[in-house]
Amino acid sequence: MTPIVFALIVILCAVSHIRWTSRGRSIAGTYVTKALGTTVILVFALWPTAAVSPVYRALVVAGLALSLAGDLFLVRPERRLLAGMVAFFLAHLAYIAAFISEAGAPARFVVPAVGALYGIALMWFLWNDMGAYRLPASAYTAVLVVMIWAASDQFLSIPDPRTLAAFAGGVLFLLSDSVLAVEQFRAPFRYSPAIVMSTYYAAQWLIAFSVHIG
């Protein structure tokens, strides 16, 4: 299948999940619909086409597998929020390792400086509402900023559509997690679930896209 076909399937999965949860249907169905999109993206990353390298593919696949675990934990965030954060923290470490495996350790500092300022502003905005999650949330924000930094350096070192996709995926991940954090710690707003899931699936698909050559 082509990347476009995979993208259309992921869009269908995302819409199905958003519609399912917006109507307050069964928790079992929520687990299934939430996992479907990430599973399709995982299959896309594993699809037998020319890849950047076996190491890069393996690290991205590991990140997607950890993300799938995080998806399932966060279906019930009131019970497994910390487990979900740990799973996604490890997923970002896998993505960082993937980007560094191709481009080397990041050496440009504009992106992390902007990301750090954004992360500090986000933590300041949510600090009084996070309670016991202040330290885990701060660590998670830091690793997310580093992931975007590594992705941006990969693109600047090897400027092509797939590395641009990885960088765009990192930025969308930050947007998704920012809205999720506001929804979780401050207050949900009308379109937050749709924003969180649409940007999340787009981010993961773009990172998976960076595995393939051509």
Read off the pLDDT of residues 3-55 as tens digits, 9 standing for 90 and up: 888 888 888 988 888 887 766 667 777 788 888 999 999 999 999 888 788 99
Average pLDDT over residues 150-160: 93
Average pLDDT over residues 140-149: 95
> Which of 25-29, 48-52, 75-79, 140-144 has the highest mean predicted lDDT (pLDDT)?
140-144
169 in a structural domain: yes
72 in a structural domain: yes
134 in a structural domain: yes
Dihedral angle sign, alpha carbons of residues 75, 45, 12, 175: positive
Retrieve residue 37's tokens: 């999109």
| Domain coverage including residue 60 | 3-209
Average pLDDT over residues 117-146: 94
Average pLDDT over residues 133-151: 95
The SS3 of residue 51 is strand
How many CA atoms does the CB half-sphere of 167 hold within 13 Å?
Answer: 21
pTM, full prediction: 0.93
Q: Tens digits of per-residue pLDDT, 157-211?
A: 999 999 999 999 999 999 999 999 998 898 877 788 889 999 999 999 999 999 9
214 in a structural domain: no
Asked if residue 32 lies in contact with residue 73, where contact means CB atoms within 8 angstroms, the answer is no
172 in a structural domain: yes
Of the candidates 45, 70, 69, 18, the one whose C-alpha atom is nearest the C-alpha of residue 191 is: 18
Retrieve residue 48's tokens: 């037998």
Q: What is the pLDDT of residue 173?
A: 96
If one counts the domains in the chain, the total is 1
Average pLDDT over residues 87-116: 91
Asked if residue 159 lies in contact with residue 175, where contact means CB atoms within 8 angstroms, the answer is no
133 in a structural domain: yes
CB burial of 110-122 (b: ≥16 within 10 Å; e: otherwise) equals ebbeebbebbeeb
The SS3 of residue 212 is strand
Measured CA to CA, the distance from residue 75 to residue 84 in angstroms comes to: 9
114 in a structural domain: yes
118 in a structural domain: yes
